[in-house]
Structure 1
């Protein structure tokens, strides 16, 4: 028996509200406000690509356009109220969640110990001890410094300089933490020197499972057991499925359906008050346009985004240029609660402009004068955020529709 049913419009509104994309991107963006936003999202993915702005900065800016990158640096390096580690990828995470990360460290260490010494050679664990001792004696260390300027060629872990691999292993397994960044270069220090003592004690496995699953479903609104497992990427889908079954038996979860963009019904779990929560969800500003990072939390799960919004997105950085459908790094464009297209833009800082090379509207999206004006206004805001004075449009930047 279906306990809840969400039509597509309501499901999109509820999901976007949990991801802070319903309300206008206005208001204060100081340290306290950005800390609260990161806690609301759960984590913010960190990425090095700076075609316009790095993903973590763009994720926060798209929700609070007064945000400036120095605020994130303060939270990480001075306040120590966020830390950097791994969910499905590198991310900044509220430090008060660190106590739950010991299970992640344990599982990561176990996986790495099965493979990394084989790639790096028999001396790898000795290299780890040497790196730890060096940091203990001399303080924070970057990969370049650890490898005497030979931090590797940027390939896979098996191709890294041993000292760089040791730093990554020690960070992923919890013995080191990111103390600061200079540019995008990480500096590692002993965890006890970065994470406040208040947050370092480990929680038991069962407590961590309960927290991880509850925190995920509360941020997703409705989800399958696989989507819950993928949110933090700590526990397996099988472990999360068992948790869901026990929560249903206890009356703390219910099973229902939401309607996808194509009209199909998809099974999900939710809290018993899901329909009341949906009724309280505000309407989004129907004409507000936002340009999102490809790594935005609302789009991180590509299959979920495709089911919910009918929007298929793939990163084409590693696709040879002649085979790309769109471009190297194109940005999803949202209007209200719909994804209306994607745009190819790049900050050309030597020319002080944001260069817009192409925009592809989704099928059925008409680009009238008013919508184009709103898109151009958002591009001007994005240009200022990226440090550029103007927007430059190439000839034919407006494409008729998504390629077949």
Structure 2
């Protein structure tokens, strides 16, 4: 059977359109408009590194330049339009998706209970009840308020004391929820005090969760393999995703296609027929140069980013400095539908200056004055998010 083929440029545009990166980064940046953006993306990864801006803030800003960090805190902590939990990593997720996480809570419960009992002994089980009573009686807590003793030996989980392990267990299994952050410190409360009742009290059967996980992931990826459907939410198993794909193909709900990579190699995927029908009508992406987060949803799957964009990226935090090819935490640069480089910059908040230390263009990219001017414009747009007033380039920044 001859399958439809998406050439590399068309595939990039389908993918970027699904990730809200084809259009200009306009929008209110707060309230209902921000909630709609997060729902469109599915989730926003949360990370504490703040060399210029935190990952979740840059992800949202790169799509709505009016966004400021207090808007996400208001949406999550006050409006309860989102909640924080786990996908492939810690993330902010639309509150309406909470019922689907019950399957993850249930599957994690026995696995984590046994694991943490092995780490912390029988005391861990008693701490679960102690932590719940403390929060029920006295309200939200952060981890530093729970327990005083550290584990007697290294556990691989930062030597958590039993109470901290109990707190994390209760969050991972859905009995507690993050009610707010102060700085970047999480405060936990009973889930029924945090999640709106209409979402808290909704229950979805396992087959409904599997169907939703696959459909909603395909919506947000544009095209995918069964493994990529699994990885998107990290809610279901490979066998469950494969069974869903097989069934959806038999029912004629989805189609098979070949996607051509940056290296010219085709790869089999599935997609919605409507995606295939409109793939060549997307038009050109906005030509502006964008700074992206290292954890941007379009790039977080490093192997897919390399296949689709020819962009090999990894964070070199744990690589010895002498062995680093780039800075330990550099920001990808996108122009139109191409990755054009990566930039090492930090917000010097003592002098209120965004300092560019190095920039590495991709091998096929010529970094002329026009592109440098577009970068300067983008960095000046970034200043309010970085908390800076000016930009300074090191004399030898261009590598």
Q: TM-score, normalised by structure 2?
A: 0.97
Match of 1:72 in 2: 72
Aligned residue runs from structure 1 range 129-208, under 5 A: 129-148=129-148, 156-157=156-157, 159-200=159-200, 201-208=202-209
Match of 1:55 in 2: 55
CA distance in 1, matches of 2:129, 2:221: 40
Please, which moves more after superposition, 68-77 or 23-32? 23-32
Moved over 4 A (4+): 148-155
Match of 2:330 in 1: 330
Change (3 A) 1:48 1:153: farther
Deviation at 1:28, TM superposition (A): 2.0
SS in 2 for 1:339: strand
CA distance in 2, matches of 1:194, 1:149: 29
CA distance in 2, matches of 1:87, 1:114: 21
Aligned residue runs from structure 1 range 135-284, under 5 A: 135-148=135-148, 156-157=156-157, 159-200=159-200, 201-284=202-285
Match of 1:394 in 2: 394
Aligned residue runs from structure 1 range 276-355, under 5 A: 276-286=277-287, 288-355=288-355
Contact 1:333 1:341 in 2 (8 A): yes
Contact 2:149 2:161 in 1 (8 A): no
Change (3 A) 1:209 1:357: same
Match of 2:4 in 1: 4
Contact 1:16 1:337 in 2 (8 A): yes
SS in 2 for 1:247: helix
Deviation at 1:2, TM superposition (A): 3.8
Change (3 A) 1:29 1:324: same
1:336-373 alpha-carbon deviations (Å, 9 max, x no partner) = 11000100011110121111110000011001110011
Change (3 A) 1:319 1:105: same
Deviation at 1:147, TM superposition (A): 2.8
Contact 1:21 1:63 in 2 (8 A): yes
Match of 1:402 in 2: none
Contact 1:2 1:255 in 2 (8 A): no
CA distance in 1, matches of 2:197, 2:265: 49
- Give unmatched runs, 5+ long, in structure 2: none
1:212-259 alpha-carbon deviations (Å, 9 max, x no partner) = 000000110100000010000011112101110000000011111010
Change (3 A) 1:123 1:354: same
SS in 2 for 1:273: helix
CA distance in 2, matches of 1:393, 1:98: 44
- Give unmatched runs, 5+ long, in structure 1: 400-404
SS in 1 for 2:273: coil
SS in 2 for 1:141: coil
Change (3 A) 1:59 1:149: farther
Please, which moves more after superposition, 241-250 or 193-202? 193-202
1:247-282 alpha-carbon deviations (Å, 9 max, x no partner) = 000001111101000110011011122321213323
CA distance in 2, matches of 1:83, 1:316: 30
Change (3 A) 1:12 1:126: same
Please, which moves more after superposition, 318-327 or 151-160? 151-160
CA distance in 2, matches of 1:151, 1:389: 45
Over aligned residues, Cα RMSD in angstroms?
A: 1.7
Please, which moves more after superposition, 389-398 or 289-298? 389-398
Deviation at 1:155, TM superposition (A): 8.3
